[in-house]
Amino acid sequence: MLDFLNEVNWWCLLLLLFLAFLLGWLLSKWALKNKYKSALEECEKMNDLLKNKPYEKANSTFSGTNTPAENKVKAIKTMDHGGMPSEENKPKPTLNFESFGKADASEKDDLKLISGVGPFIEEKLNSIGIYTFEQISKFTKEDIETVTELIQFFPGRIERDNWTKQASKLKENK
């Protein structure tokens, strides 16, 4: 009989613990609901105050398309994530076609024959107007710097791979 009473006591204790847990959980839900409800009401009141305030700048964030152009914020990207000046603000250099000549897609050579030029670089060269070995063979130092910047290629790679000499040889063998 004593064992039975011990077992009943344990079950009663377990039931009381479960009821305490359930009661605590329900009370916390109710308390959090009231806490967030009051915070939401406070935010709505502040929002209404800002919307009705006569000061122009306070209304400009809520007025949508009615905002005058001078009140709108215009952001200009001046630095990249690494702290370097943004490429968007730099003026793009222009090629001096008078020094190495113009060509079009109808005169196109297979620039991939030059060591260091793959399909991707050939496409970039074509996009800036360089199609032939003749053009590359006439590059000056300034032209090389401009092309490097325009195609965003490794600085010094054109000189290191000696594209002008390779292009001259390929032009002669054509």
* 25-78 pLDDT per residue, tens: 998 888 777 777 777 888 888 888 777 766 555 444 544 555 555 656 666 666
Assigned token pair, 131: 């199609």
Higher pLDDT, 21 or 155: 21
pLDDT above 70 coverage of the chain, percent: 75
Question: Is the per-residue pLDDT at 87 higher than 70?
Answer: no
Mean pLDDT of the chain: 79
Of the pLDDT bands very low, low, confident and very high (cuts 50, 70, 90), residue 22 is very high
Q: Note the pTM of the prediction, 2 decimals.
A: 0.48
One-letter amino acid identity for 83?
G
Per-residue buried b or exposed e for 42-65, using 16+ beta carbons within 10 Å of the residue's own CB = eeeeeeeeeeeeeeeeebeeeeee
Residue-level pLDDT at 70: 60
